[in-house]
Amino acid sequence: MSSKTHEIAHDVAEHPVHGTAIYWWIGLYLTLVTGGEIACFYFEHVIGPWVTPLILALSAVKFALVVMFYMHLKYDSRVFSGIFIFGAALGTLAITGVTILYHVLDVLR
């Protein structure tokens, strides 16, 4: 099999025809969760100190939905998941570390 034929055979085998209902549902969930985030912002006086963890949790849900379903990581090779999670974890570590260093430890000092 030539490389071109092989490539075509691979692509067709890898991406057969499929339904799109799940994508519309994910779109709906993303819209609802975004609405929840914005509601948390406007009802901060009601929610109190839980507003920040709540917004971050909702954001994490949106992140996971897009990565798992729209980027197909839920169904794709775990190698791709590993590469992405490694980069994302290092980025998150940098953000968390700096935030603790400048905003938590600085306040405690």
Partner 1 sequence: MDSAARAADPAHLDTSTGLDSRKMAFWTFIGSECLLFGSLIATYMAYKGASVTGPCPHTTLLWNGQQCPGILDIPLTSISTFDLLMSSLMMVLGLAAVQRGNQKRAAIWLGMTAFLGAIFLGFQSYEFTTFWHEGLTLQTNLFGTTFYTLTGFHGAHVFVGVIYMTVLAVLAWRGKLGPEKSLNVEIGGLYWHFVDVIWVVIFPLVYLIP
Angle formed by the axes of helices 51-65 and 21-42, to 10°?
A: 170
Cβ proximity to partner 1, 20 vs 108, nearer residue: 20
Contact 65, 72 (CB under 8 A): no
Binding mask 69-98 for partner 1 (x = CB under 8 A): xxxxxxxxx-xx--xx-xxx-xxxxxx-xx
Q: What residues from 23 to 62 belong to the interface with partner 1 (CB under 8 A)?
A: 23-24, 26-27, 30-31, 34, 37-38, 40-41, 44, 51-52, 55-56, 58-59, 62
Tokens read off for 2: 């030539």
Tokens read off for 22: 């799940």
For residue 41, give the nearest of 57, 26, 54 by alpha carbon. 54
Contact 48, 16 (CB under 8 A): no
Shortest spacing between CB 5 and partner 1, in angstroms: 10
Q: Which residues bind partner 1 (CB under 8 A)?
A: 6-8, 10-24, 26-27, 30-31, 34, 37-38, 40-41, 44, 51-52, 55-56, 58-59, 62-63, 66-67, 69-77, 79-80, 83-84, 86-88, 90-95, 97-99, 101-103
